[in-house]
């Protein structure tokens, strides 16, 4: 596998792009069109793009009356996911229609990824979609997932997809332009430009997992996912969803996790994702 630099994202053959719930749901649904424009531009350059899209449950929150707060019970979350995933895919496809691009839905569970047969079936299906010019859109199957057996956030899922599909780069889209040395509201906090393979991440205060009305995740999960990709020789960029065009064009934005130059593909990727060992 070729180790790409940040500037070479524009020429990487295969890219996984992950977008979170807060970037495309609620008042942010307008962002789907510019995201699609950037993905279409990358495809026009001859690149293969796999989209990992959160947002099923968040999309349903404005359509179903759950009261004032995000539902916590499993049945309500599963029902919301079933409704929201349908609408989410409709929104993506409606925008993709402007570029005459067809999307394909890939819903996976943690159990699927733990089992070699469905995992390889997913890999073959995505490979075939890419060969047919279809844009694969991957999400966790929240309708059948449980609290105990699930990825929990799509940052980890996107790292696994990048590993499974032998991607050349992973782009993790966030609400902020880059990762910071400490919470961004702190006066001493500074944006991080580059993290080399083997750099000690413990000196940074990325903060814990964030759970809010639209999704889960946060800087810590993105750093974990980016480091996992990095260790497998896949460069990872963390930046704002508003920077998607610049990111895919190879411009100098966000925080770049430079790929390990002589990385041996890890066989324990799923274990690391599950147990947060990074």
Q: How far apart, in whole angstroms, are the C-alpha atoms of residue 247 and residue 253?
A: 6
Task: Evaluate whether 22 touches 28 at the Cβ level (below 8 Å).
Answer: yes
Neighbours of 183 (CB within 10 A): 11
pLDDT on residue 278: 35
Per-residue model confidence as pLDDT tens digits over 50-59: 999 999 999 9
pTM of the model: 0.90
Which domain range does residue 119 map to?
Answer: 6-275
Share of the chain above pLDDT 70, in %: 86
3-state secondary structure of 17: strand
Residue positions in the annotated binding site for ATP?
A: 18, 174-175
Domain count, the chain: 1
What band does 31 get if pLDDT is binned at 50, 70 and 90? very high
Residues placed in the known binding site: 18, 54, 142, 154, 174-175
Average pLDDT, the chain: 88
CATH number for the domain that contains residue 262: 3.40.1160.10
- The answer to whether residue 265 scores a pLDDT higher than 80 is no
Alpha carbons 83 and 104: distance in angstroms, whole number: 17
Show binding-site residues for substrate: 54, 142, 154
145 located within any domain: yes
The string of pLDDT tens digits covering residues 123-162 is 999 999 999 999 999 999 988 876 644 676 789 999 999 9
**190: in domain:** yes
Helix, strand or coil for residue 258?
coil
Residue 1 lies in a domain: no
19 in any annotated domain: yes
Tell me the pLDDT tens digit for each residue of 161-216: 999 999 999 999 988 899 999 988 899 999 999 999 989 988 898 865 544 444 45
């Amino acid at each position: 596998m070729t180790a790409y630099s940040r500037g070479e994202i524009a020429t990487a053959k295969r890219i996984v792009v992950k977008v979170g719930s807060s970037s495309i749901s609620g008042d942010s649904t307008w962002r789907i069109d510019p995201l699609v424009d950037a993905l279409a531009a990358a495809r026009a350059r001859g690149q293969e793009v796999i989209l990992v899209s959160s947002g099923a449950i968040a999309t349903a929150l404005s359509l179903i009356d759950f009261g004032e707060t995000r539902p916590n019970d499993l049945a309500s979350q599963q029902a919301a996911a079933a409704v929201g995933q349908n609408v989410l895919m409709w929104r993506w496809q409606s925008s993709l229609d402007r570029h005459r691009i067809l999307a394909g839905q890939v819903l996976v569970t943690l159990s699927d990824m733990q089992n070699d047969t469905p995992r390889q079936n997913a890999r073959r299906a995505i490979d075939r979609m890419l060969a047919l010019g279809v844009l694969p859109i991957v999400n966790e199957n929240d309708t059948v997932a449980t609290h105990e057996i699930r990825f929990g956030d799509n940052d980890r899922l996107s790292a696994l997809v990048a590993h499974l599909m032998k991607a050349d780069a992973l782009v993790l889209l966030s609400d902020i332009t880059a990762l910071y040395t400490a919470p961004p509201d702190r006066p001493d906090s500074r944006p991080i430009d580059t993290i080399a393979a083997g750099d000690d991440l413990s000196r940074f205060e990325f903060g814990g997992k964030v759970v809010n009305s639209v999704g889960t995740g946060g800087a810590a999960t993105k750093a974990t996912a980016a480091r996992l990709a990095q260790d497998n020789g896949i460069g990872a960029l963390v930046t704002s969803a508003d920077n998607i065009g610049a990111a895919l064009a190879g411009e100098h934005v966000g925080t770049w996790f430079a790929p390990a130059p002589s990385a041996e593909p890890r066989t324990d990727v799923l274990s690391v994702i599950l147990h947060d060992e990074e």
